[in-house]
Amino acid sequence: MAATEHETVFTYGAPALKYGTGSSDEIGYDLTQYGVHRVLVVTDPQVAATGWPRRIADGIAGYGIEAEVFDGVHVEPTDVSMQKAVDFARGTGPYDAFVAVGGGSAIDTAKAANLLTSNDGELMDYVNAPVGGGRAPDRPLKPLVAVPTTTGTGSESTTVCVLDVLSLRVKSGISHLRLRPTLAVVDPRLTISQPAGVTAASGMDILCHAAESYTAKPYTEFERKRPEQRVPYCGANPLADMFAEQSLRLLSWALPAAVRDGDDLKAREAMALAATFAGLGFGNAGVHIPHANAYPIAGQVRDFHPDGYPGEEPMVPHGMAVSLTAPAAFRFTFDAAPDRHLRVARLLAPDFEWPGDFADHLPAVLIDLMRQIGIPDGIGAVGYTESDVDSLVEGTLKQQRLLATAPREASTDDLSGILRESVSLW
């Protein structure tokens, strides 16, 4: 086989899915289908305060399954916070299954606890290289039921677990097919408690999942892989495209509506469905430059405190961090796939008053939406200046798994230009 032969195969994977109002009431029954007797429910203090995790645990117990609750998840998890969950699971286990109730932070923490109670080694052994050891799990994981309470991360569908490595001030992750949840239970009732700021940030995460996967490097442009070389992110492909397009259609009206009125159940249902569709798409196609930039933006935060999130520690929520460089990133990638960038813009805002330059259409739509829903005005509004750009670029360059999926290769100077252009957006 010639080294330059192009790929002809794409792969697709997804969890079993149960969507709809009331679906979380059936988790106890669902777990009986896996033959489990003891489960760990993983959540964070804010979600625990809503009562939903305890209600779900009680429902599980109603089917004769012992359910322990760990409510110590850290929003925007770190290696330290994930280790606490792993230690809890190791100390109180063994467990036959895990149930994550919360946003991406809870689901990702449950993935880590599942990984490290099913396999030998420590957390950093499995974190993606070059940050960690990049080790693959040797043994299968236990069943994981993911129950999202935020509409955005898509973690209920993906093979990825994201965390901050505090000692290195960098955000990285663990990526392997075995991390994908067994079952995603998407009950829109659980998302109504999201504050407007959380809805806006997580909604931009959905949008960028869909837009980045739709504009990703096509799977046919990668070099041909051997079977053992295949990775979850295989590039834009027909199945992922279908999910991304439907997600963008829903977001066009549901995201502004859900931010305006958190009790709008129709908008919440559409947001939950949009998040699910986007997760089913990007979990296979991949994401690229906005997500790669987001990791150092979140990891190097100094003193920004976003509305709607726990106030004790500074943070840039993941979806917000992704969105801040998206306009400039999509302007940079436009020439690689003009029709796809224009398609994203028109799905999001069919009646928009378009600027003259086609390359500005998607950035203009994104900036208009970000202003409507209260996203900060660029990375400058979350505490960064042009003097921070070199450090941010250094962090972005560590995300080679994501940069490899970009439709246009980005050099150090290109990434620097995108970040400088993103200091202020309007």
Token pair of 199 as six digits: 């809805």
Q: Pairing mode, if any, of strands 183-186 and 160-165?
A: unpaired
The rounded distance, in Å, linking the Cα atoms of 6 and 219 is 9
Domains along the sequence of the chain with CATH: 22-186 (3.40.50.1970), 196-422 (1.20.1090.10)
Q: Pairing mode, if any, of strands 170-175 and 160-165?
A: antiparallel
The per-residue pLDDT for range 3-59, each reduced to its tens digit, is: 569 999 999 999 999 999 999 999 999 999 999 999 999 999 999 999 999 999 999
φ, ψ of residue 196 in degrees (nearest 5): -60, -40
Q: Are 75 and 315 in contact (CB under 8 A)?
A: yes
Closest of 328, 424, 312 to residue 376, by C-alpha: 424
- What secondary structure letter does DSSP report for 6? B
Q: Are 331 and 425 in contact (CB under 8 A)?
A: no
| Burial of 248 per CB tally in 10 Å (0-12, 13-18, 19+) | buried
pLDDT for 291 equals 96
Residue labelled with tokens 């940050």: 131
Closest of 100, 95, 33, 55 to residue 73, by C-alpha: 100
Low pLDDT (below 50) residues in the chain: 1-2
Token pair of 292 as six digits: 């790669």
pLDDT for 1 equals 44
